Amino acid sequence: MPAAPVDLSVVVPMYNEQEVLPLFVERLRPVAEAWGVTYEVLCVDDGSTDATPVLLQRLRREWDAVRVVRLRANAGHQAAISAGLARARGAYVVTIDADLQDPPETIGEMLHVAREQHVDVVYGVREDRSSDTAFKRVTARAFYRSIRALSDVDAHVDAGDFRMMSRATVDAVNSLPESNRVLRLVVPALGFPSASAGYRRAPRAAGDSKYPLGKMLRLSIDGVTGFSIAPLRFATWLGLLGGVAALVVLLYAVVAMLLGNTLPGWTSTVVIVSAVGAVQLLALGILGEYVGRTYSALQARPAYFVAHDSLELEMPTPVTD
């Protein structure tokens, strides 16, 4: 793997953050200068329609660590982070919100933890969520509960998208061809060694949340459907059960007719209705299985990631000039 040109990339997704951007820069810059490592600040403008792009162009001239990527249209928080991860060049990459809810001061600690403890991922874990609304706390808890119940991803309940990742982790994330990545589930699912750094979740420094209820719901649905085919399995079983029940009704109608206690025409009607129902429901169940398989194939997640391979170590190192 070629050496990373910078030690640390800071990926910042921004959607209409004109109010908060100057505050963010003012707070990040002195912190960054004290890290004592080479770094880049990769701002991903997620199709902002306010002055964010103008402010970013200005910033780029004032601070040469800044790189700007602008998406054509609003693609969403996760997609914006993905765009940043694909372009980040650092040996470590941290993703942080622009609204100062994630303190830039914690980045230095994350870097320290990553290097000292030799871990690939350092999750920022909210120790105090009192700045979040009760609604946000309740919905977040429900979200992680259902994810844990439906899939086997061990996502931290109080971790969001403030996290540091090693180059190997970022490469692994970038190699996933799926487009609806819910990173807070994808990253733990990769299984890299991890640690956490606690922080206090501050209130938004300025501007309004760019996460209306609709976007939050979208994230939850992407999370559940991305990591579990349990809902589909449920539909499959329902189809199979319904099909069997329809067959039982059919048998009952035939037996009742043979015993002679039915009205004329009743048996043929019930037999036709339940036969058609049984065939449809059974077929739906089978279809569900194939749809599930097609879906996993489309996601094309690698079946494993190699942590370490002794064969690789024994290979002669390539000569470079």
For ligand UDP, the closer of residues 25 and 253 by Cβ is 25
Residue 99 binds ligand UDP, judged by CB under 6 A = yes
288 and 233 in contact (C-beta within 8 Å)?
yes
Q: Phi and psi at residue 10, in whole multiples of 5°?
A: -110, 115
Per CB under 6 A, 210 contacts ligand UDP? yes
Residues 6+ apart with CB under 8 A from 182: 78, 219, 222, 223, 226, 227
Which residue's CB is nearer to ligand UDP, number 207 or number 277?
207
Q: 242 near 281, Cβ under 8 Å?
A: yes
User: By C-beta, is 165 or 253 nearer to ligand UDP?
Assistant: 165
Residue numbers at the binding site for Mg ion (CB under 5 A) = 99, 101
Stretch that binds ligand UDP, among 71-79, 165-173, 178-186, 226-234 (CB under 6 A): 71-79
120 binds ligand UDP (CB under 6 A): no
Instruction: Give the nearest distance from C-beta 98 to ligand UDP in angstroms.
Output: 4
Burial classification of residue 210, based on how many CB atoms lie within 10 Å of its CB (0-12 exposed, 13-18 middle, 19 or more buried):
buried
- Considering CB distances under 5 to 8 angstroms, the limit depending on partner class, which of ligand UDP, Mg ion, none binds residue 167? none
Residue with tokens 């899939």: 151
Task: Provide the token pair at 125.
Answer: 């874990």
Would you state the structure tokens that stand for residue 111, as one six-digit string? 């870097």
Contact predicate 183/173, CB 8 Å = yes
Distance CA(238)–CA(230), nearest Å, equals 12
104 near ligand UDP, rule: CB under 6 A: no
Nearest distance in Å: CB 73, ligand UDP: 10
Closest contact distance (angstroms) between CB of 49 and Mg ion is 18
Number of chain residues interacting with ligand UDP (CB under 6 A) = 17
**Residues engaged in binding ligand UDP (CB under 6 A):** 13-15, 17, 46, 74, 76-77, 80, 97-99, 101, 204, 209-211
